[in-house]
Amino acid sequence: MKELVVISGKGGTGKTSVLASFASLAKKGRDRRLRRGHSRFASGPRAAAAREGFTAGSKARIKPGHCTACGKCEELCRFDAIYFDGPWQRQGVKDLPGGHDRLRGLRRLLRFLPENAIERAGRLRRVVCVRDALRTDWSMLSWAVGAENSGKLVTQLRRTAQQVAAEQRRDLILCDGSPGIGCPVIASLTGASLALFVVEPTASGEHDFLRVAQLTIQLGVPGILAVNKADLNEEVARDIEELARQRGIDLVGRIPYDPAVTEAQIARKTVVEASDGPAARAIRGLWTETRKYLDRSAPAAAGGLVPLAGQQQTQRT
């Protein structure tokens, strides 16, 4: 089983449009494939076959009548999730609006508080939906991200995807990555077979591509490059292609600017379903090329946040 991750560094460069098109092209082929991510807009039935819970962290609350306004909890919390309102307030301590997102790590600290006035008040839940679209020949996973712990959620999602793909004997997982280089990106790249960079030829596109390319090199994931809206600035496009070449990242396609991409999105279709214009033709070519690289790449491994190749920062005692 192979896993392709589409990333970009910068947001809005066309990751989802490319990936959704790949999914519909793969559907037409004889392979049974699995995709996941944001691309649910493109097509497919919406019935939820299974739902899985995801716990992002726990909430805390101050028990009425127990607080003596000593201020200790505020002192111990390093996430500014609690503030001391002074002893003249009966409650003494308040949690800030949205502060629950910052109560991470507080749970165990609670037992250091003298009056036992703080208790756990349930969990922060985010729902992961696993949707199995039986009438089409691929499965789809999606999720509702609220606030917190997105790296953990990505890892859980990838494990589920790998399980489902193994059960249903699918041979490819298409994964829609996030912008940036932080924990959700690291979580989606670790152990993936191949990374496809979708980059736009702009000063910031280039800057962000270089940072995320460095990350894939650190993680030991091979990469290939597609330049989207390539005709926007030919000079920058050529710069990016040269910088990619120096890093061992092959150019596999150039997608021209095409209003059909936005039109397809409005019609809730993938670009290759909705049009036969220049962008759709380029994406078809890109898919053919990408498959060649996928055939040569390593099988997907279970992902996680920890194993940063070449960056062993663990301490042994």
Partner 1 sequence: MKIAIASGKGGTGKTTLATSLARVAASDGRAVAYLDCDVEEPNGHLFLKPEILREEPIHKLIPVVDPARCTHCGLCSQTCRFGAIACVGEQTLIFSELCHSCGGCLLVCPEEAIREVAKPIGRLRIGMAGPLHFVEGVLNVGEAMSPPAIHAVKSAAPVAELTILDCPPGTSCPVIEGVRGCDLLLLVTEPTPFGLHDLKLAVEMARALRLKFGVVVNRADCGDREVWNYCRRQRIAILAEIPDDRAVAEAYSRGELAAEAVPHVAERIGGLLEAIRPGAHV
Question: Is residue 57 a contact point for partner 1 (CB under 8 A)?
Answer: yes
Nearer to partner 1 (CB atom), residue 101 or residue 289: 101
Interactions with partner 1, residue window 277-316 (CB under 8 A): 305-306, 308, 311, 313-316
- Per-residue binding letters, 205-234, with partner 1 (x by CB under 8 A): x-xx--xx-xx--x----------x--xx-
13 binds partner 1 (CB under 8 A): yes
DSSP string, 59-114: EEEEPTTT-----HHHHH-SSS-EEE--TTSSS-EEEPTTGGGG-TT-GGGGGGST
Residue with tokens 């078809």, as numbered in its chain: 284
- Applying CB under 8 A, among 68, 91, 262, 288 the residue interacting with partner 1 is 262
Q: How far is the CB of 14 from partner 1 (least distance, A)?
A: 9
As a whole number of angstroms, the distance between CA 37 and CA 19 comes to 9
Where b means 16+ CB within 10 Å and e means fewer, 222-257 reads: bbbbbbbbbeebeebbeebbebbeeeebebbbbbee
In eight-state DSSP terms, residue 229 is T
Out of 91, 116, 168, 204, which residue is the one contacting partner 1 (CB under 8 A)?
Answer: 204
Tokens at 93, concatenated:
């301590």
> Which one, 27 or 269, has the nearer CB to partner 1?
269
Binding flags for partner 1, 80-109, as an x/- string (CB under 8 A): -----------------xx--x--xxxxxx
Residue 183 within binding range of partner 1, rule CB under 8 A: yes
Contact 7, 15 (CB under 8 A): yes
Q: Is residue 266 a contact residue for partner 1 (CB under 8 A)?
A: yes
The one among 47, 48, 121, 203 contacting partner 1 by CB under 8 A: 203
Token pair of 10, please?
């910068």
Q: CB-wise, 1 or 265, nearer to partner 1?
A: 265
Tell me if 61 contacts partner 1 by CB under 8 A. Answer: no
DSSP-derived 3-state class of residue 204: helix
Residues from 115 through 174 that contact partner 1 (CB under 8 A): 145-151
- Side chain identity at residue 123, one-letter code: R
Q: Is 184 in the site for partner 1 (CB under 8 A)?
A: yes
Contact 213, 223 (CB under 8 A): yes
Q: How far is the CB of 218 from partner 1 (least distance, A)?
A: 5
**Complex with partner 1: residue 170 or 270, whichever CB lies closer:** 270
Give the separation between CA 203 and CA 280, rounded to whole angstroms: 25
Q: Which residues of 176-213 are buried (b: 16+ CB within 10 A; e: fewer)?
A: bbbbbbebbbbbbbbbbbbbbbbbbbbeebbebbeebb
Binds partner 1 by CB under 8 A, chosen from 16, 24, 139, 275: 16
Q: Which residues sit at the interface with partner 1, rule CB under 8 A?
A: 9-13, 16, 38, 41, 57, 76, 78-79, 97-98, 101, 104-109, 112, 145-151, 178-186, 200-205, 207-208, 211-212, 214-215, 218, 229, 232-233, 236, 259, 262, 265-266, 268, 305-306, 308, 311, 313-317
